[in-house]
Structure 1
Amino acid sequence: MALWDRVKESAQSMQSQLTAKKNDLKSGAFRDASMAMCALVAAADGEVDAAERRRVAQLIAGNEVLSNFPAEDLQRRFNEYLDKLAADFDFGKVGVLQEVAKAKKKPAEARAVIQIGVVIGGADGDFDDAEQSVVREACFALGLPPQEFDL
């Protein structure tokens, strides 16, 4: 199986798992950590370009699990985290990872945040090294083994 197919299959599998848990993923900590994760993936290469911002925003808007929350609220939070990363990527990443870590108290939510990172990163069929690296860092922030998510 080609790498592209494996990435796509993994992202689809993670999305299916998320959808199955949709009713359990309604807390503010999950919402904030998910948007922080999306921002990290969008800015994984240290740059926040307009095309990547739009692509991830569309994925957020179309994600069934995230439909538990008002779209405007998600967009505002996503943009706030992206702006922090754009202003100073390394310093911003510390703060954004702290937001991700807020989901640590509930293991199901913590895993779901990582799954969202994998889904967003793999949606274009190219879950690149920089994207995998920030999702791995999020795993550490949440106390989860990256191997659990094939990272």
Structure 2
Amino acid sequence: MALEWLKQRYSEVTANLKTEVTKLKNKTFLEAVVAGCALVAHADGVVKPEEKQKMMGFLRNSDVLSVFDPQEVIAIFEKYAKQFEFDHQIGQAAVLQVVGKLKGKDSEARLMVRVCCAIGAADGNFDDQEKGVVRKICNELGLNPKDFDL
């Protein structure tokens, strides 16, 4: 009986450790995706509910990012949103700095840009302002905006 309990505890601890390691490995990607989404959402000056919902849906369905608590995701989004509310240029600079951490990580960078494009189109209108900020993200990452029809 004690051996069975020990095996069960070992399985639980192992699963928890795997989740924590996954979180650590993907924290930079999470922060870049959420920051990029905040930049796109603020491009036209109005953050629409559809944009937030689209971002949360992606994060919930992502194998890599679904391990994160939604409250943590919201806190990251709000952190960048406040910077935009204070000063748009400061907010943009902060986002591009975080996004730049994905430079050289091609698959992660491309996925992040695709998510940002989806956020821009979430309200049914991927306008020129939103496309413009996604082009800035592409430039920061060393990606060609034409690869994303921008």
Do they fold alike, i.e. is TM over 0.5? yes
Secondary structure of 1:69 counterpart: coil
CA shift at 1:62, angstroms?
Answer: 1.6
Residue 13 (structure 1) aligns with: none
TM-score, normalised via structure 1 length: 0.75
Task: Please say if residues 48 and 86 of structure 1, whose CA atoms lie closer than 8 Å, have aligned partners that are also in contact.
Answer: no
- CA deviation after TM superposition for structure 1 residue 56, in Å: 2.3
Higher relative contact order (CA 8 A, sep 6+): 1
Offset, 1:48: 4.2
Alignment of 1:128-147 (within 5 A): 128-147=127-146
Q: Which among 42, 52, 57 is matched to residue 57 of structure 1?
A: 52
State the Cα distance separating 1:96 from its structure 2 match.
1.1
Query: Gaps spanning 5+ residues in structure 1: where?
Result: 1-22
Q: In the TM superposition, what is the alpha-carbon distance from 1:91 to its structure 2 partner?
A: 2.0
Higher Cα radius of gyration: 2
Tell me: CA distance 1:94–1:85, structure 2 relative to 1, closer, same or farther (3 Å): same
TM-score, with length taken from structure 2: 0.76
DSSP 3-state at the match of 2:103: helix
Give the drift of 1:60. Answer: 2.0
Q: 1:86, 1:129 → 2: CA distance?
A: 21
Question: Does the 8 Å CA contact 2:51/2:123 hold for their aligned counterparts?
Answer: no
What residue number does 2:5 align with? none
Match of 1:111 in 2: 110
Retained in 1: the 8 A contact 2:100–2:140?
yes
Taking only the aligned residue pairs, the percentage that are identical comes to 41
Query: Structure 2 stretches of 5 or more lacking a match?
Result: 1-21
Size of the aligned set, in residue pairs, is: 123
Separation in 2, partners of 1:120, 1:150:
15
